[in-house]
Amino acid sequence: MKNIFISLFIAFGITSILGSCAQNKVDLADVTIVYDASDDKLVAQMAVTLADDIERVSGVRPGVSTDPVEGPSVVLGTVGKSSVVAPKKELEGKWESFAITTGADRIEVVGSDPRGLAYGVFRISEAIGVSPWYWWADVPVEHDPSPMYGENYMSEEPSVKYRGLFINDEDWGILPWSGGVIGPETNERIFQLMLRLRANYYWPAMHEVSQPFFTIPGNREMAHKYGIYIGGSHCEPMATSPAKEWEMRGVGDYNYVTNSEAVKNFWQERLEEVKGQDIVYTIGMRGLHDGSMQGTKTKEDKLRYLQQAIDDQREMLRSTVNVDVASVPQVFVPYKEVLDIYRSGLQVPDDVTLMWTDDNYGYIRHFPDSMEQMRAGGNGLYYHVSYWGRPHDYLWLGTFSPFLMRQQLPEAYQRGIRQMWVLNVGDIKPAEYLIEDFLNMAWKGLRGRTDGRQELLAFFKREFGEELA
């Protein structure tokens, strides 16, 4: 009898803890949003964004304050930087994690870092009816004059460290829509969508028709504002975009065999400009706009000069960005013929992420072997749900099979591809569900996956309502 009583007492206690979200709910139309002015700039931005979202739902805009307030509040802060949130030792040292706690008239969102804080804020936004796609896909926000929220939640760390999008084949849609320049206004919309979907890593558009990301005033500042890492595709080394940028400031041919000093100067100028930015540096080299490396004819030539380019790039990163070059995020992408060069004996430093690719149609070409799985830099994946090229394009509609993606990505994760996932999304708008599902899998890994039909139905219910779903 005593054991039964203890079991019932424990069960009641657990139920009370888990049920606290039902007992403590806060009317978000009646709150002030509070943050510490000395906290990261992204926290200030999230305070404003949460106020925007609450206003979208309720029609009432909450106040935003950097001073403590009386009455209902939502308090935002990051561990070790904020004086207005309670310490959260369980978040210390974690990557992009967050905790939400709710009291009688106070909701507290604490991030292990600024992006973790942002993900916590957007969990609240989605819970009160603001879809991550409210702007990009015109998803209506249902009016609720008193949106109630109450939850105690501790997130896990993301399963994949860098999770991102690649805007590509932009000629047809997003570039003309942006007015011919993908500048800070467009990128702000992209970066906010990425944070709503718990992404952190961006490869900007890179066709010849596009002005390169770092040459457009305001772009790098916008990335910093939203805490987004900037990278580049397999043919865009050292934060440059040679397809267009070489003609703007390059000298001679983009040829490492005959003109290596000019090419190195081209890279070095960019490193000096952006060395304080959050960047994942792509290393290696291909020809202009995704062609084979210029000046090389045999596989031996390609191996020799690609190895020299990587060695030179490493020295440039060491001397310009950080003397501890292994601490600088870097990725090497053995795409197309570069995979054969890699297999011929290319020596990629152990701290560099090896990013494997699909065949442009969803089938991953290479999974890391036991030695590659042990690399300090880990393994990454570059995957397509939009493609322009031979033998078949698919650009205009989201025709890629979500079920193929759901078969390939868990296998990739299980076989050690866990450091970096990037999705080629074309112009974004044709691929909403595919983008969200990809980033959900990057966040969860193998945790809590359900049947794809259930998640697709849940997506439709959120975006179109119960009846149409």
Tell me the average pLDDT across 400-427. Answer: 96
Give pLDDT, residue 90: 96
pLDDT tens for each residue of 9-32: 333 343 333 334 446 899 999 999
Cis amide prior to 391 (ω within 30 degrees): yes
Q: What is the mean pLDDT of the chain?
A: 93
- The strand ranges marked E within 150-238 are 153-154, 162-167, 201-203, 229-230
Contact 227, 117 (CB under 8 A): no
Residue 417 has pLDDT above 90, yes or no: yes
Contact 188, 243 (CB under 8 A): no
pTM tops 0.85, yes or no: yes
Give pLDDT, residue 23: 66
Contact 293, 247 (CB under 8 A): no
Phi, psi angles (nearest 5°) of residue 128: -95, 5
pLDDT tens for each residue of 419-443: 999 999 999 999 999 999 999 999 9
Burial of 238 (0-12, 13-18, 19+ CB in 10 A): buried
How many other CB atoms are found less than 10 A from the CB of residue 110? Answer: 25
Longest dimension (CA), the chain: 88
Give pLDDT, residue 292: 87
DSSP code of 413?
H
Of the chain, the percentage scoring pLDDT greater than 70 comes to 95
pLDDT tens for each residue of 301-332: 999 999 999 999 999 999 999 999 999 999 99
Tell me the average pLDDT across 163-179. Answer: 96
Take residue 395 and report the two structure tokens written for it: 């650009």
